A = this chain, B = another copy of it.
């Protein structure tokens, strides 16, 4: 009998558990490590002693004082344990960061790029930028344990970018393979909304929430799902495709073949073209947000309209997933409450009472870096940290 999916709890050795917990939390006391790993405090003590001796772990100096009781010694993974690289590739930008194993960014770079160039050109650019940013951080290639990159579009189980209008030059490219080869380092690739969900769940507005949804509202609209504290990708790694939720079955035809998809109402195309007649000089979502913030009524209105549409789709998602928190990121999220208030209203209106009551809708606290920091998080998960 072929053995089925590993449904039950796999066992890991304590050393790995401790290192993984440290990588995930960034910093923790021995007591916290004992709680999150399930190991006995005494075991953590002896494991940490070994790790300290090896130099993998360093004492953070400060103590983490609660209200009562003895404060704990803060531990983190040391700089000499290695670094990871996170990359966020968007339609018109490219961001890279070198991070130590406690998600402290050592160096970062950001650069504009053309939206329609072929994957191979982008990859060349990425390779050069990684080299640069490593130089800026004063880190050698051999110290890099893992690299991860976020792409705007569905990344299938094969590591291939599925149908995406945002990055036409990458469709069908086996991104993971290609970049692994180009960099000569272990690379993982994932959808950018998934990565935003990861970072906001670990270190952002969703910290401590077991079940959350990250919404990326930029050119397209995508969702990343964290369930039980873990990123959930679905059977074919395309979970979170909220952009094609049908808002109105009699609406305009979408490229996906349906009518009235959310993207037809709240995608950047839709927002910009609804402004064109009266605001012909406005190009780009960022500018719309800027004007809305400055009090321009038309821009504020289209953002509110988008919020309402997104909220309508989000209501259905809340009915189905019942998350404790929705973290909103992406360019449009810079509009803050101008976007969120109508969104919340639409959720309250469209979701069943209890689901609407359970969910807290909030802005991404890592802002524009959520996706890049998520790439750092994914690289951390993928890195073989226990190696010395």
Contacts and interface: CB of A to CB of B under 8 A. Distances in A.
Copies of this protein in the assembly total: 2
A323 B241 CA distance: 12
A322 B38 contact: no
Nearest to A259: B350
Contacts of A37: 8-9, 11
B8 A9 contact: no
Given A228-B230, A249-B248, A256 B320 contact: no
A24 B38 contact: no
A4 B241 contact: no
Contacts of A4: 207-208
B319 A258 contact: no
A6 interface: yes
Range for the number of chain A residues in contact with chain B? 35 or more
Nearest to A21: B8
B32 A8 contact: no
Contacts of A3: 32, 35-36
Q: Which 10 A-B pairs have the closest CB atoms?
A: A234-B322, A235-B324, A11-B38, A7-B229, A236-B358, A10-B38, A4-B208, A239-B322, A241-B319, A5-B210
Given A223-B320, A245-B320, 9 more contacts: A9-B17, A227-B232, A234-B322, A236-B324, A240-B322, A241-B319, A245-B319, A320-B320, A321-B321
Interface of A: 1, 3-12, 17, 20-21, 24, 32, 35-39, 64, 66, 154, 156, 162-163, 207-211, 223, 225, 227-230, 232-242, 244-250, 256-258, 312, 315-317, 319-325, 349-355, 357-359
